[in-house]
Amino acid sequence: MKILGINTSPRQNSNCRIALEKALDTAKAEGAEVELVDSNKLNIKACQGDNYCKAHEGKCAVDDDMQQVYKKIEEADGIIFAIPVYFFDVNAQMKLVLDRLYSYFQFPFTETYGKKKVSFIISQGTPDPDAFKAVLQTQFKAFEFLGFELADFVVLTDNNVPGAINDKEDQLAQVVEVGKNIL
């Protein structure tokens, strides 16, 4: 079983990356092959809306690092996204990846690449776990539409300071469960 972790936080020592590493370490301990990708370190351009993908079996015309991410998604059995909320929504790095998944729209993704599980680890500075939930769930309906099975949707709160999660055993325990449930 292959599990892909996609960290969309640009921060060094980010709570997202720490949480994602913990979830992936758990999946690895359970026997999965894991890989972590930092989307901020990649050159991913915005979707051009040219619909090239519609005429070319879901292949995107934009030749950038997202091509590597597509391949990793297609080969994975499960994907865990670690995403910070910066201003009432997913951050820009996640939005780039999400919008580029448009290439799979109206393409038989599940029939071609198999059923995949997806989990979301959300880290936010706000203490209210429901503060942005409606907006976030709307964003992630795209994955349901593509045929992904939701394994987990975890919101980690009060994490405005990088590394803050290291002192929060309850949150670390939640991401351990993410690592188990993605299998």
Can you list the pairs that 16-19 forms with residues at least 24 positions away whose Cβ atoms lie under 8 Å? 16/82, 16/83, 16/84, 16/121, 16/123, 17/82, 18/163, 18/165, 18/166, 19/82, 19/121, 19/123, 19/156, 19/165, 19/171, 19/172, 19/175, 19/178
Residue that wins the pLDDT comparison between 63 and 12 = 63
- Distance in angstroms (rounded) separating the CA atoms of residues 75 and 3: 9
Q: List, as one string, the DSSP characters of 122-140.
A: EE-SSS-TTTTHHHHHHHH
Residue numbers of the domain that contains 159: 2-181
Q: Over the stretch 120-135, which tens digit does the pLDDT of each residue have?
A: 999 999 999 999 988 8
Q: What is the CA radius of gyration of the chain?
A: 16
**Given a cut of 90, is residue 12 above it in pLDDT?**
no
- Distance in angstroms (rounded) separating the CA atoms of residues 136 and 152: 13
**Given a cut of 90, is residue 139 above it in pLDDT?**
no
- Distance in angstroms (rounded) separating the CA atoms of residues 53 and 178: 32
**Whole-number pLDDT of residue 143:** 93
**Whole-number pLDDT of residue 42:** 98
CATH number at residue 137: 3.40.50.360
Mean pLDDT of the chain: 95
Enter the tokens of residue 140. Answer: 């992630």
| Domains held by the chain: number | 1
Q: Over the stretch 107-116, which tens digit does the pLDDT of each residue have?
A: 888 889 999 9
- Which contiguous run of DSSP H or E holds residue 25? helix 15-29
Could you tell me how far CA 51 lies from the centroid of its own chain?
Answer: 24
> In this structure, which amino acid lies at residue 50?
D
